[in-house]
Amino acid sequence: MFIQLDRVSKRYGEKVVISDVSLQIHQGECLVLMGDNGSGKTTLLRLLAGLIYPTEGEVLRKKNGGTKKTLNRKTGYAIDRLPVTNFTAMEYLLAMGLMQGLSKKEIQYQTDKWFELFGLIEDKNEQIASYSKGMRQKVNIMQSLLGDPELLLLDEPLSGLDRNSQRNLIQLLLEYKKTKTTLVCASHEPYIVSELADRVAEMQRGKLIRLLQPEEIVTIDTTLVRVTNLSEAEAKLLSTAEGIIELSIQSTQSKKEAEPELTIIMHSSHSDLLLAHILAQGGSIQSVTKEEK
């Protein structure tokens, strides 16, 4: 199975949102869509999901010598933000799975594994409305995986997830890739590109401006550092320093120290300087893990 976009354009009124995009997506590959806000990534995912149709051109799914214009049910789509509903996570996933024709038993079997993996087992019968952003994102990803789709469309899949959950999700997606699931991810995350991408498509104002092949994808070595004893103000300042990719703050209300624990992902090339800076500010470095490609 592969998907072919043939001179696809999408307009809303006079506004051209996708402009003359031609692209083949191969079975089992992971294509990452990158580009600035508003460049058309989500619209391209919606076209691939068959939720909207091109104004011009065609999106075709070719399988076993045949060609289908519409994409079938074996497409999973995690939208950029799961809306708040009155369902519990389990009720929501059951409803989504039943709509796809899965049995209750199948849905429970699949979702139990994921609830465990994402650390949500205790919360699965709580209302989604009471969930944090990251917890909601986990449910969003789970619904997209129901029924083992052939094509998985993920809009900013790492958004809101803590580093451990990001790692677990990447591992899970790598498993899906091994079973020849085709992945298309809209993402700004270097982590997604370095771990999953076979090709990167760069969008600009609705146009596909560059398609990077595997050998052209430059992966970066990153270092994960856990730090305590830095104030929130110092952490905020640090987050803007050159070489910092991501800085998250976990509050330590249960612990005695007033300062939060920071998880910092940085470019390895900047780590010596940044670690020296953290120590000079009185920070205590709890762990340093190099993630080399």
Which residues are near ligand ATP by CB under 6 A? 12, 15, 17, 35, 37-43, 80, 186
Minimum Å gap between C-beta 181 and ligand ATP is 22
Minimum Å gap between C-beta 41 and ligand ATP is 4
User: DSSP string of 65-93?
Assistant: TEEESS--S-EEEE-SSPPP-SSBHHHHH
69: number of Cβ within 10 Å: 10
With beta carbons less than 8 A apart as the criterion, state whether 110 and 176 touch.
no
Give the residue with the Cβ less far from ligand ATP, 43 or 182. 43
Minimum Å gap between C-beta 136 and ligand ATP is 17
Enter the DSSP assignment of 241: S
Element (H, E) at 98: helix 89-99
Give the residue with the Cβ less far from ligand ATP, 16 or 212. 16
Give the residue with the Cβ less far from ligand ATP, 48 or 107. 48
**Burial readout 156-187 (b: 16 or more C-beta within 10 A, e: otherwise):** bbbbbbebebbbbbbebbeebbeeebbbbbbb
Minimum Å gap between C-beta 249 and ligand ATP is 24
Element (H, E) at 131: none
With beta carbons less than 8 A apart as the criterion, state whether 82 and 128 touch.
yes
Give the residue with the Cβ less far from ligand ATP, 41 or 61. 41
Give the residue with the Cβ less far from ligand ATP, 39 or 75. 39
Minimum Å gap between C-beta 32 and ligand ATP is 13
